[in-house]
Chain A
Protein backbone atom coordinates (compact mmCIF):
# COMPACT_ATOMS: atom_id res chain seq x y z
CA UNK A 1 0.00 0.00 0.00
CA UNK A 2 1.28 3.49 -0.84
CA UNK A 3 2.02 5.70 2.10
CA UNK A 4 0.13 8.81 0.94
CA UNK A 5 1.48 10.99 3.74
CA UNK A 6 5.07 10.10 2.91
CA UNK A 7 4.45 10.62 -0.80
CA UNK A 8 2.87 14.03 -0.20
CA UNK A 9 5.76 15.05 2.02
CA UNK A 10 8.26 13.96 -0.63
CA UNK A 11 6.37 15.94 -3.29
CA UNK A 12 6.37 18.99 -1.08
CA UNK A 13 10.12 18.64 -0.60
CA UNK A 14 10.59 18.31 -4.36
CA UNK A 15 8.48 21.39 -5.05
CA UNK A 16 10.35 23.31 -2.38
CA UNK A 17 13.66 22.65 -4.10
CA UNK A 18 12.38 23.48 -7.59
CA UNK A 19 14.01 26.50 -9.18
CA UNK A 20 12.06 29.10 -11.15
CA UNK A 21 11.02 27.95 -14.62
CA UNK A 22 11.42 30.28 -17.61
CA UNK A 23 10.82 30.11 -21.32
CA UNK A 24 12.06 31.85 -24.43
CA UNK A 25 10.97 31.85 -28.04
CA UNK A 26 13.87 32.53 -30.42
CA UNK A 27 12.67 33.45 -33.88
CA UNK A 28 14.67 32.96 -37.05
CA UNK A 29 13.18 35.08 -39.82
CA UNK A 30 12.89 33.48 -43.25
CA UNK A 31 16.35 33.12 -44.79
CA UNK A 32 18.14 34.40 -41.69
CA UNK A 33 18.99 31.17 -39.92
CA UNK A 34 22.63 30.15 -39.71
CA UNK A 35 22.87 27.02 -37.62
CA UNK A 36 26.48 26.21 -36.90
CA UNK A 37 25.93 24.21 -33.72
CA UNK A 38 27.04 27.15 -31.61
CA UNK A 39 23.65 27.44 -29.90
CA UNK A 40 23.63 23.76 -29.00
CA UNK A 41 27.14 24.04 -27.55
CA UNK A 42 26.17 26.96 -25.33
CA UNK A 43 22.98 25.22 -24.20
CA UNK A 44 24.87 22.06 -23.32
CA UNK A 45 27.44 24.13 -21.45
CA UNK A 46 24.68 25.59 -19.24
CA UNK A 47 23.21 22.14 -18.61
CA UNK A 48 26.55 20.52 -17.90
CA UNK A 49 27.51 23.31 -15.50
CA UNK A 50 24.30 22.67 -13.53
CA UNK A 51 23.10 26.20 -14.22
CA UNK A 52 19.87 25.07 -15.84
CA UNK A 53 17.84 21.92 -16.39
CA UNK A 54 16.14 21.72 -19.74
CA UNK A 55 12.47 20.84 -19.38
CA UNK A 56 11.13 21.08 -22.91
CA UNK A 57 12.08 22.06 -26.44
CA UNK A 58 9.88 22.52 -29.50
CA UNK A 59 10.64 23.84 -32.95
CA UNK A 60 7.80 25.84 -34.50
CA UNK A 61 7.34 26.93 -38.08
CA UNK A 62 4.79 29.47 -39.22
CA UNK A 63 3.81 29.48 -42.86
CA UNK A 64 3.09 32.58 -44.89
CA UNK A 65 -0.62 31.94 -44.37
CA UNK A 66 -0.14 31.83 -40.59
CA UNK A 67 -0.57 28.10 -40.13
CA UNK A 68 1.71 26.65 -37.47
CA UNK A 69 3.57 23.36 -37.37
CA UNK A 70 5.43 21.99 -34.36
CA UNK A 71 8.34 19.58 -34.31
CA UNK A 72 9.66 17.60 -31.41
CA UNK A 73 13.40 17.64 -30.88
CA UNK A 74 13.41 13.95 -31.79
CA UNK A 75 11.96 14.83 -35.23
CA UNK A 76 15.27 16.44 -36.18
CA UNK A 77 17.52 14.13 -38.15
CA UNK A 78 20.92 15.27 -36.90
CA UNK A 79 20.65 16.22 -33.26
CA UNK A 80 24.34 15.95 -32.54
CA UNK A 81 25.17 16.48 -28.89
CA UNK A 82 21.58 17.49 -28.15
CA UNK A 83 20.69 13.81 -28.46
CA UNK A 84 21.63 13.18 -24.84
CA UNK A 85 19.28 15.94 -23.65
CA UNK A 86 16.32 14.70 -25.65
CA UNK A 87 15.69 11.75 -23.34
CA UNK A 88 15.58 14.05 -20.30
CA UNK A 89 12.85 16.37 -21.56
CA UNK A 90 9.53 16.47 -19.72
CA UNK A 91 7.04 17.47 -22.45
CA UNK A 92 5.61 20.24 -20.29
CA UNK A 93 4.16 22.21 -23.19
CA UNK A 94 0.67 21.23 -24.34
CA UNK A 95 -0.75 21.54 -27.82
CA UNK A 96 -2.62 24.72 -26.83
CA UNK A 97 0.68 26.29 -25.78
CA UNK A 98 1.93 25.94 -29.34
CA UNK A 99 -0.78 28.31 -30.59
CA UNK A 100 -0.10 30.77 -27.78
CA UNK A 101 3.64 30.82 -28.37
CA UNK A 102 3.33 31.00 -32.13
CA UNK A 103 1.26 34.18 -31.78
CA UNK A 104 4.55 36.05 -31.34
CA UNK A 105 6.02 34.69 -34.58
CA UNK A 106 6.12 36.37 -37.97
CA UNK A 107 4.70 34.44 -40.92
CA UNK A 108 7.45 32.56 -42.75
CA UNK A 109 9.65 32.21 -39.69
CA UNK A 110 10.99 29.32 -37.64
CA UNK A 111 11.35 29.47 -33.86
CA UNK A 112 12.90 27.44 -31.11
CA UNK A 113 10.99 27.25 -27.82
CA UNK A 114 12.98 26.44 -24.72
CA UNK A 115 11.63 25.78 -21.23
CA UNK A 116 14.13 25.44 -18.43
CA UNK A 117 14.48 25.38 -14.68
CA UNK A 118 16.95 27.82 -13.19
CA UNK A 119 18.88 25.42 -10.99
CA UNK A 120 21.21 28.20 -9.90
CA UNK A 121 18.28 30.02 -8.27
CA UNK A 122 16.75 27.03 -6.49
CA UNK A 123 18.83 27.07 -3.28
CA UNK A 124 18.24 30.80 -2.79
CA UNK A 125 14.51 30.50 -3.50
CA UNK A 126 14.29 27.57 -1.10
CA UNK A 127 16.14 29.51 1.59
CA UNK A 128 13.83 32.48 1.08
CA UNK A 129 10.78 30.25 1.54
CA UNK A 130 12.24 28.67 4.67
CA UNK A 131 12.81 32.18 5.99
CA UNK A 132 9.14 32.97 5.53
CA UNK A 133 9.54 34.95 2.31
CA UNK A 134 7.07 34.81 -0.54
CA UNK A 135 7.77 35.68 -4.15
CA UNK A 136 5.32 38.44 -4.97
CA UNK A 137 6.82 39.80 -8.19
CA UNK A 138 9.46 38.91 -10.72
CA UNK A 139 10.30 39.81 -14.28
CA UNK A 140 12.92 40.84 -16.75
CA UNK A 141 14.08 44.39 -17.46
CA UNK A 142 14.43 44.90 -21.22
CA UNK A 143 17.71 46.42 -22.38
CA UNK A 144 15.62 49.06 -24.15
CA UNK A 145 14.24 50.21 -20.79
CA UNK A 146 17.76 50.51 -19.35
CA UNK A 147 18.89 52.55 -22.36
CA UNK A 148 15.84 54.83 -22.08
CA UNK A 149 16.42 55.32 -18.36
CA UNK A 150 20.11 56.19 -18.75
CA UNK A 151 19.45 58.51 -21.67
CA UNK A 152 16.73 60.32 -19.73
CA UNK A 153 19.12 60.59 -16.80
CA UNK A 154 21.83 62.04 -19.03
CA UNK A 155 19.39 64.50 -20.60
CA UNK A 156 18.30 65.69 -17.14
CA UNK A 157 21.93 66.06 -16.06
CA UNK A 158 22.85 68.10 -19.16
CA UNK A 159 19.81 70.38 -18.72
CA UNK A 160 20.88 71.07 -15.17
CA UNK A 161 24.48 71.83 -16.19
Chain B
Protein backbone atom coordinates (compact mmCIF):
# COMPACT_ATOMS: atom_id res chain seq x y z
CA UNK B 1 0.00 0.00 0.00
CA UNK B 2 1.31 3.47 -0.75
CA UNK B 3 2.64 5.70 1.97
CA UNK B 4 0.85 8.92 2.67
CA UNK B 5 1.99 11.77 0.40
CA UNK B 6 3.38 13.67 3.40
CA UNK B 7 6.08 11.00 3.79
CA UNK B 8 7.33 11.15 0.22
CA UNK B 9 10.18 13.42 -0.86
CA UNK B 10 11.12 14.44 2.67
CA UNK B 11 14.51 14.02 4.29
CA UNK B 12 14.38 11.07 6.66
CA UNK B 13 15.25 10.96 10.33
CA UNK B 14 16.92 7.55 10.51
CA UNK B 15 19.93 8.60 8.46
CA UNK B 16 21.41 5.29 7.34
CA UNK B 17 20.46 1.65 6.84
CA UNK B 18 19.80 0.00 10.19
CA UNK B 19 21.78 -3.08 11.22
CA UNK B 20 19.95 -5.93 12.87
CA UNK B 21 20.68 -6.24 16.57
CA UNK B 22 21.31 -9.56 18.27
CA UNK B 23 18.05 -11.20 19.26
CA UNK B 24 18.04 -11.52 23.05
CA UNK B 25 16.37 -14.93 23.21
CA UNK B 26 18.95 -16.37 20.80
CA UNK B 27 21.93 -14.72 22.45
CA UNK B 28 21.74 -16.69 25.68
CA UNK B 29 23.23 -19.89 24.30
CA UNK B 30 25.51 -21.76 24.57
CA UNK B 31 26.16 -21.87 28.28
CA UNK B 32 23.87 -21.94 31.27
CA UNK B 33 20.14 -22.18 30.72
CA UNK B 34 18.17 -19.01 29.87
CA UNK B 35 16.75 -19.07 33.39
CA UNK B 36 20.26 -19.03 34.86
CA UNK B 37 21.24 -16.22 32.50
CA UNK B 38 18.23 -14.23 33.64
CA UNK B 39 19.35 -14.65 37.23
CA UNK B 40 22.80 -13.41 36.27
CA UNK B 41 21.38 -10.27 34.66
CA UNK B 42 19.07 -9.68 37.61
CA UNK B 43 22.05 -9.91 39.95
CA UNK B 44 23.96 -7.41 37.82
CA UNK B 45 21.34 -4.75 38.17
CA UNK B 46 20.54 -5.39 41.82
CA UNK B 47 21.01 -2.38 44.09
CA UNK B 48 24.10 -2.64 46.22
CA UNK B 49 26.33 -4.30 43.67
CA UNK B 50 29.59 -2.44 43.56
CA UNK B 51 32.09 -2.23 40.73
CA UNK B 52 35.62 -3.35 41.22
CA UNK B 53 38.11 -0.87 39.85
Asked if A81 is an interface residue, CB under 8 A from chain B, the answer is no
In the bound complex, CA of A150 to CA of B24 (Å): 16
CB distance from A146 to the nearest CB of B (A): 5
In the bound complex, CA of A75 to CA of B1 (Å): 8
Asked if B3 is an interface residue, CB under 8 A from chain A, the answer is yes
Q: Size range of the interface on B?
A: 20 to 34
B15 partner, pick from A100, A104, A105, A142, beta carbons under 8 A: A100
Asked if B45 is an interface residue, CB under 8 A from chain A, the answer is yes
CB atoms of B7 and A143 under 8 A apart:
no
Asked if A71 is an interface residue, CB under 8 A from chain B, the answer is yes
Asked if A8 is an interface residue, CB under 8 A from chain B, the answer is no
CB atoms of B10 and A95 under 8 A apart:
yes
A-B contact pairs, 18 of them (CB 8 A): A72-B1, A72-B3, A91-B6, A91-B7, A92-B13, A93-B13, A94-B10, A95-B7, A100-B18, A103-B17, A103-B18, A103-B19, A105-B20, A142-B21, A144-B24, A147-B37, A147-B41, A150-B44
Closest 6 CB pairs of A and B: A103-B17, A97-B12, A94-B10, A96-B12, A94-B12, A104-B20
Given contacts A103-B17, A103-B18, A104-B18, 17 further A-B contacts (CB under 8 A): A25-B18, A70-B1, A91-B4, A92-B13, A93-B7, A93-B12, A95-B7, A96-B11, A99-B17, A100-B15, A100-B16, A104-B21, A105-B20, A142-B24, A143-B41, A144-B24, A150-B44
Query: Which residues of A does B touch, CB under 8 Å?
Result: 23, 25, 69-72, 75, 91-101, 103-106, 142-144, 146-147, 149-151, 153
